[in-house]
A and B are shown apart, each in its own frame.
Chain A
Amino acid sequence: MAYLELKNVSKTYHQGKDNTEVLSNINLKIEEGEFVAIVGFTGSGKTTLVNLINGLIKPTSGEVLFKGEPVVGTSHERGVIFQNYSLLPWLTVFQNIAMAVKEAFPKENKAQIKNRVESYVEMVGLTHAIYKRPKELSGGMRQRVAVARALAMKPEMIIMDEPLGALDALTRGNLQDEILNIWNQDKRTALLITNDVDEGIYMADRIIPLKPGPKATLGPEFKINIARPRDKTALNDNADFKKTRNEIITYLMAIGDDRKSVSAQQYSLPDLTPKSFVSQF
């Protein structure tokens, strides 16, 4: 039995008379302790997929099973890092994280909770800003608070929706390592949504592309067989890395081109997504 399993999951959004089937026939199995990355184009339904797994929305058809049980609502076992950070603007960094910690560890006393919060704030390098409110933080700092909030709850499974998008390369690298550390320490399960193939290869055991929507489905998976711990600087010279990366990017460009030729008559899409992959060569 897989740890997390999606069986023929479809999701249709109803808006007035409009029905858009965003996700169609998604099948996905994640084993316990695995680190899976999903790469996809913008608007293809990645956030929708994340919300189906964390229990914020229900599938229109099909099943989402977590440890063999259908997912009903949210759970502390599945922690989420939201794409838009979703910090509460009237709370400080400390309060935002403490709120989550208190819920996850209801038996702990004030001092224990404080300790926990402070250690995670330190981990994301925001100790100097711990009593600031979100509006006083930069986008990247907010993102780090969101990461700390999710990790501080010590969820069994971490679901990350483009968690590092707004960060500079250096901070991004540090946080990637922190996330990997935490995942590795207690052998947790992780699902990472990303638009950065390099990030996916560096962090994940498998990369699965999500095809462009509507009716997005998952593409063929790419296994990353690079031994852990992976060394970022050495990665560029690693033959496996280069090969996998080429395969994935070729695949993504192909489906990106398909999408363009299909939709060119209807409306012009910004063609920045395929190009951004190319530019990384």
Chain B
Amino acid sequence: MEQEIILKKENQGFAIIKPLTNFFKVKFEKDNVLKFLKKTGITLISILLFLAFWHFGSKALYNKEATYKIEKALAEQGQAAAEAEKACIASRDSSCQPNTLPSPSQVWASFQSLIADHYLIKNKKQAFADKLATTNEKLVAQGKEAIVYTGRASFVDTVLTSIKTVFAGFLLAMIIAVPLGIFIGLSPSLRSAFNWFIQIFKPVSPVVWYLLVFMIVKTIYIGASSDNAFVISFISVGLCAMWATLVNTAMGVSSVDKDYINVAKVLKLGTFQKVFKVILPSSLPLIFTGLRITLSVAWMVLIAIELLAQSPGLGLFVWEEFQNGANDSNSKIIVAMFVIGIIGFLLDRLMLTVQQMVSFNKNEGI
């Protein structure tokens, strides 16, 4: 018989969507409509307030920098230069724009241009592939490597790279931390053996993990031509983020309710049965709490690690835009910020939903 996991009837993971779905399911009772309007209304108002605050804030910053530029031109080069500067700023010419916090509309424009850019690059890639299709076939037939497109990655590609990296890191963390946590939780002597190890390595910063992984992977890959940035970044992310899962798994396994242990004893379950039918299911909620923390930590440290590893993800995108200093760089950085935030939020919701599926109340069987 399968060891099933409790499925909660009600999922609160996507709570934000719930009022919406309820709204369409339930009859249009006046109460419901009012409740819905109130809830969405408050959210909408707060978003508008936020945008207004941002808009006027960025405008103030813009004006401050513009005024400073004009005054500087006046002081250094005289009246004519100041007039020219003023005209230049007013004309929205990109060469003399103040380089400050972009306004919401600028960010939105950048977002659209990033998406347009993505389709442009996609088409280029396709054209490239079409053009080289026959050549590549020949190359492969001859046992040589096919020629691949090595042009600039689009914004969407960087997002996908980041998601790929974070999932690879998360999987690595899971593969290491869950089994290790189970062993540590089961054996008190292993627990004392590993305690110092966990205490020392848990607080180490992502940058240092990156350097450590870099030292090792670089040597392993020595002489190989392939790019190891992805490998280095996902391993660093995994090692950096796995501690919450390790600690939670060990804690869950070592603190199984005494009643369940008594049941296992009275039924005289073998070690295997005891671990897989009693101890693990009862620690699943804690394990998944750990995995949820791991995923959010992984996403958070990913940006810094990609930057260091020069892995073509969001981290590198942000860094390059900052270095670039082009006119729309700042708004692209803000776009990336929102994308990072939204993806992080969605990942967390995903884990919360899974976590609620496997959780049970300790008193349910008692």
Q: Which residues of A contact B (CB under 8 A)?
A: 54, 56, 73-76, 79-80, 82, 84-92, 94-95, 98-100, 103-104, 133-135, 142, 153
Contacts and interface: CB of A to CB of B under 8 A. Distances in A.
Contacts of A95: 1, 3-4
A72 to B, nearest CB: 12
B60 interface: no
Name, among B263, B269, B365, the residue most crowded by chain A CB atoms within 10 Å (CB to CB): B365
Contacts of A85: 365-366
Which 10 residue pairs of A and B lie closest in terms of their CB atoms, listed nearest first?
A: A89-B364, A135-B364, A87-B365, A89-B365, A90-B281, A86-B259, A134-B365, A89-B360, A84-B366, A103-B267
A82 B6 contact: no
9 contacts: A56-B265, A86-B259, A88-B281, A88-B282, A89-B365, A90-B3, A90-B6, A95-B4, A134-B364
B262 interface: yes
B267 A88 contact: no
A112 B5 CA distance: 25
Nearest to A86: B259
B268 interface: yes
B268 A82 contact: no
B44 to A, nearest CB: 38
A89 B277 CA distance: 11
B266 interface: yes
Given A85-B365, A95-B1, A135-B361, A75 B268 contact: yes
A82 B366 CA distance: 10
Contact of B267 (A87, A92, A99): A99
B366 A88 contact: no
Nearest to A110: B1
Contacts of B265: 56, 73-74
A108 to B, nearest CB: 14
Contacts of B273: 103
B366 A86 contact: yes
Given A90-B6, A134-B364, A82 B281 contact: no
Nearest to A153: B267
Contacts of B260: 86, 88
Interface in B52-78: none
Contacts of B366: 84-87
A90 B279 CA distance: 11
A134 B365 CA distance: 5
Interface string B268-310: 1100010001100110100000000000000000000000000
Given A89-B364, A135-B364, A56 B6 contact: no
Contacts of A84: 259, 366
A95 B6 CA distance: 13
Nearest to B260: A88
Interface in B346-366: 360-362, 364-366
A100 B264 CA distance: 9
Contacts of B364: 89, 133-135
Contacts of B6: 89-90, 133, 135
A56 B365 contact: no
Interface string B95-113: 0000000000000000000
A120 to B, nearest CB: 15
B267 A86 contact: no
Contacts of B262: 56, 82, 86
A85 B260 CA distance: 10
Contacts of A99: 267, 269, 277
Contact of A88 (B5, B268, B278, B284): B278
Contacts of A75: 268
Contacts of B269: 99, 103
Nearest to B6: A90
Interface string B235-268: 0000000000000000000000001101101111
A87 B263 CA distance: 8
Contacts of B284: 90
Interface in B2-33: 3-6
B263 A88 contact: yes
A6 B273 CA distance: 32
B360 A90 contact: yes
A80 B266 contact: yes
Given A95-B1, A135-B360, A103 B268 contact: yes
A182 to B, nearest CB: 18
A80 B267 CA distance: 9
B68 to A, nearest CB: 65
A90 B263 contact: no
Contact of A74 (B268, B277, B361): B268
A144 B266 CA distance: 18
Contact of B266 (A54, A87, A89): A54
B358 to A, nearest CB: 8
A82 B259 CA distance: 9
Given A82-B259, A88-B260, A135-B364, 5 more contacts: A54-B266, A80-B266, A87-B365, A90-B3, A95-B3
Contacts of B361: 89, 135
Contact of A86 (B4, B5, B268, B365): B365
Nearest to A78: B266
A76 B268 contact: yes
Nearest to A57: B262
A134 B282 CA distance: 14
A272 to B, nearest CB: 22
B127 to A, nearest CB: 55
